[in-house]
């Protein structure tokens, strides 16, 4: 993905600069919506369970009608969708945008809370990933760990972390942030000093 905003033209995201090109966009694994999915599935059972309770608590001549059952089921679907919607919004609009100048982390929580973290590409020193446990291995998600001059940036529940890490490293090398020998470049463009142990650890990723 490569999108560049022209003067007065369409921008991929609101804060994109006119000379800034979007190189890569990724988001977390849908598993982050699991809490909302469980709650919405329970809400889906409210109508049928209510109908079942009325059936067993009333005499046969007062059993709920078929129309009552489908109406309660429809209400349950609507309630389930309303409950799940904020979780979906939080997942879909929480994105990580990599441009030719910076990495932008947009975190959406519900409908009314948004947080943005902006890191210049030259500030990134190292990108690693971790897949820990059976669930992460089977579902294909893990943690991306970025070491920057401002501190560590940990991104949990990333879909296909190995592919994301490879793509990020490729972009950093294309932009001259990382040198050909995998040493991170300093903000001035010169590679930083790195011990043999650090070089070995990065090569193992």
Judge whether residue 116 has pLDDT over 50.
Answer: yes
Q: Which pLDDT band, with edges at 50, 70 and 90, does 4 fall under?
A: low
Same domain, yes or no: 16 and 103: yes
Same domain, yes or no: 101 and 85: no
- Per-residue pLDDT tens digits for 123-172: 998 899 999 989 899 999 999 999 888 888 899 999 999 999 999 999 99
- Per-residue pLDDT tens digits for 89-99: 999 999 999 99
Q: Domain ends where: 68, 89, 110?
A: 89
Structural domains in the chain (count):
2
- Per-residue pLDDT tens digits for 25-62: 999 999 999 999 999 999 999 988 988 888 888 887 77
Same domain, yes or no: 17 and 40: no
Judge whether residue 183 has pLDDT over 80.
Answer: no
Same domain, yes or no: 19 and 44: no
Is pTM beyond 0.85 here?
no
Q: Which pLDDT band, with edges at 50, 70 and 90, does 194 fall under?
A: very low
Scan for tokens 């920057």, then name that residue: 148
**Number of CB atoms found within 10 A of residue 132's CB:** 9
pLDDT score of 91 = 93
Q: Domain ends where: 47, 63, 89?
A: 89
Radius of gyration of the chain (CA): 24
Cβ proximity of 137 and 149 under 8 Å:
no
pLDDT score of 176 = 84
Domain ranges, residue 104: 3-28+94-204
Q: Which pLDDT band, with edges at 50, 70 and 90, does 15 fall under?
A: confident
Same domain, yes or no: 158 and 63: no
Same domain, yes or no: 126 and 198: yes
Same domain, yes or no: 10 and 40: no
Same domain, yes or no: 80 and 166: no
Same domain, yes or no: 160 and 174: yes
Same domain, yes or no: 80 and 98: no
Cβ proximity of 33 and 83 under 8 Å:
no
Strand ranges in the chain using DSSP code E only, listed in sequence order: 3-4, 21-27, 95-99, 102-109, 113-120, 124-130, 141-148, 151-159
The CATH number covering residue 164 comes to 2.30.29.30
């Amino acid at each position: 993905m490569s999108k560049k905003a022209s003067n007065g033209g369409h921008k991929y995201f609101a804060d994109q600069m006119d000379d800034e090109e979007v190189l890569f966009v990724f988001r977390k694994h849908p598993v982050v919506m699991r809490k909302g999915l469980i709650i919405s599935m329970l809400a889906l059972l409210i109508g049928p369970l209510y109908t079942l309770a009325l059936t067993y608590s009333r005499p046969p001549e007062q059993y709920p009608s078929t129309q009552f059952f489908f109406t309660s089921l429809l209400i349950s679907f609507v309630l389930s969708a309303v409950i799940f919607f904020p979780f979906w919004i939080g997942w879909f609009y929480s994105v990580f945008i990599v441009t030719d100048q910076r990495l932008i982390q947009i975190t959406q929580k519900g409908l009314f809370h948004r947080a943005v973290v902006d890191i210049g590409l030259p500030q990134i020193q190292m990108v690693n990933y971790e897949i820990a446990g059976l669930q992460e291995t089977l579902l294909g998600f893990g943690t991306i760990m970025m070491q920057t001059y401002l501190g560590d940036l940990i991104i949990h529940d990333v879909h296909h972390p190995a592919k994301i890490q490879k793509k990020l490293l490729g972009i950093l090398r294309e932009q001259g942030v990382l040198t050909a020998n995998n040493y991170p470049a300093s903000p001035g463009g010169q590679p930083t000093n790195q011990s043999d142990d650090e070089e070995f650890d990065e090569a193992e990723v």
